[in-house]
Structure 1
Amino acid sequence: MHPFTILLGGSVTPTRRLLAQVAGSRVIAADGGMMHAAPLGLQAELWVGDFDSASQEIQQAFAHIPREEHPVGKDFTDGELAVEAALARGADRLILVGAMGGQTDQTLAHLLLGLRLAQQGIPILLSSGYEEAYPLLAGKLQLDLPLKSKLSLLPLGGFVGLSLRGVQWPLHRFDVPLGSTRTLSNLALGPVEIELEAGYGVVIAYPEPALC
C-alpha cells in the first residue's frame, strides 16, 4: 500500500482518530495546507501550489521542503495538483486533510474530486478531524465509526436500491432522489454497512472528537 495524505487549506481538528488515519502515510502539502503539518506531526515530502495562501511565516518555517510552483492564473486548484503529484508517485490510497470547513466552493470541489477518484478505483477519505466524507458509489461500503456517531448520506446523483445497516434507522433497497433529506442525521450503532445498486453520493460522518 502507498497511502498519501494531502494537506489542504480547510479547517483541521487534530483528533486521535485523524492522527491514527494519517500515521505512516507519505505527505504532500497544497499551498496553505502546510500549516497543518506540525499539529498533525507530519513531514511533507513536497509542497505544491502558487503559494498565495501560505503566510511568509509558514514559507520561512518550511523553506527546506521541495516545491512544485505553479502560476496563480492556472486551470486547477492547488489541491488537485497535489493529488496529481501523489498519484504520479504511486499513491493507491488518499486522505485529503483540510478538505472541508473552508470556502463552500472549495469543499464541494473536494467532494466531487473525491467521487471522481473513487470512480477510478482509488480509496479516498476526506477529513477535517471533526467530520469525515466518503464517496459512495454502486457496490458495498463499510465504515468503522465510534458508537453514536452522526452520519448523513447525500444523494448527489440519487440513490437506487440503498440498503443501510448498523444504524438507528436502517433501510433496505430504498430509492432516494436527488435533493431528498431522507438519509440525513442517522446514528451509527456499530460497523455501518451500506449497499447501493445504482447512483452515487457522499457519506458525511461526525465521529466523536477526541482532542489530543
Structure 2
Amino acid sequence: MIKNISSRIKVLPHTNNPIDFAVLLNGDLQITDRLLRIIKDCRIIASDGGIAHADKLKVVPELWIGDFDSTDHTLLQQWSSIKRISYLPNKDMSDGEIAIHKALQLGAKNIILVGAISGQRFDYALQHITLAIYCKKQNINVVLTSGIEECFVLIPGKHYFDFPKNSIFSIVALSDIKNLTITGAKYTLSNYSMSLGSSRTCSNVAKDKLTIVLDHGSAIIISRPYDLQRF
C-alpha cells in the first residue's frame, strides 16, 4: 500500500480571497441550470471516473487525479492532454479524498463536490459527507451535489441559504442538537433541542431568506431545489 498520502499533501496557507474549486466525482449526476451556474467560475479538478461529467458540464479540468481504475479507455484518450497525477490502486485514500486535499493545497476555501451523493456506492457518498464535515470545521465550505439534490454541513453558528422558494429541504442531525432555530421556512423552530435520530426536521419547505442557527451539535441540510411545493 501507499502510506501516509495525507502527510505528503499538506494544506497551504489560504489567500485573502476565497478560491472556488469543483471536484468531479464518479457518482451519478443530472445537469441542471443551477449546477452550471454554481460551477461557472470554479477551477476544476477531476477525480478518476468523474472526468465523464466534464463534457456535459462544458468544463476542462486543470488536473486529473486517481488510479484510473474506473475510467473508460476512450476517456483516457479524449482527455489525454490534461495534467494527471497517478496513484496505485492499493492506497490509503480514495481518489476523491486525494482530489479534495489537492484543492486545499491550491488554496480552496469553497469546494463543490460534483457527483458526490448519488450513485451505486452509498459508502463513498457517506464518506464524502464526513469529509465535508471535517472541512467545515477547518473553515472550508463544501457543497455536495447530484444536480437535483444539494447537501451542506451545519455546525454551531448562523447559516444562510438561497434555495428556490417552495423547494423542499430536510435537516438531518448527526448528533444531539441544542437551540436549533429555523426561519424563512414553512415550518419554523425557535431554540429547539433535537435528539440524534429525530425526524422532526425532515421535509420542510423553503420560503424567504432561509436562516438556520444552532448552538451545539452538527447536522446536514439536504435540499431539492427543483422539487417545488405549490401549497
The answer for the alignment partner of 1:12 in structure 2 is 29
Amino acid at match of 1:87: L
- Establish whether residue 164 from structure 1 lines up as the match of residue 144 from structure 2: no
- Establish whether residue 27 from structure 1 lines up as the match of residue 83 from structure 2: no
- Establish whether residue 66 from structure 1 lines up as the match of residue 97 from structure 2: no
1:158 Cα offset (Å): 2.2
Q: CA RMSD in A?
A: 1.2
| TM-score normalised by the chain length of structure 1 | 0.97
Task: Give structure 1 stretches of 5+ with no counterpart.
Answer: none
- Establish whether residue 194 from structure 1 lines up as the match of residue 212 from structure 2: yes
The answer for the alignment partner of 1:180 in structure 2 is 198
Amino acid at match of 2:201: T
Amino acid at match of 1:73: N
The answer for the alignment partner of 1:121 in structure 2 is 139
1:24 Cα offset (Å): 1.1
1:140 Cα offset (Å): 0.6
Amino acid at match of 2:98: L
CA distance in 1, matches of 2:150, 2:176: 20
What's the CA shift string for 1:103-155, capped at 9, x where partnerless?
Answer: 11011000111010000001111111100000000001000011111100010
1:42 Cα offset (Å): 1.0
CA distance in 2, matches of 1:191, 1:43: 34
CA distance in 2, matches of 1:161, 1:21: 31
Partner residue of 1:77 out of 83, 94, 102: 94
CA distance in 2, matches of 1:9, 1:159: 32
Partner residue of 1:45 out of 46, 62, 66: 62
The answer for the alignment partner of 2:117 in structure 1 is 100
CA distance in 2, matches of 1:56, 1:191: 46
Amino acid at match of 1:175: S
Structure showing greater Rg: 2
**Sequence identity, in percent?**
38
Task: Give runs of ≥4 in structure 1 deviating > 6 Å.
Answer: none
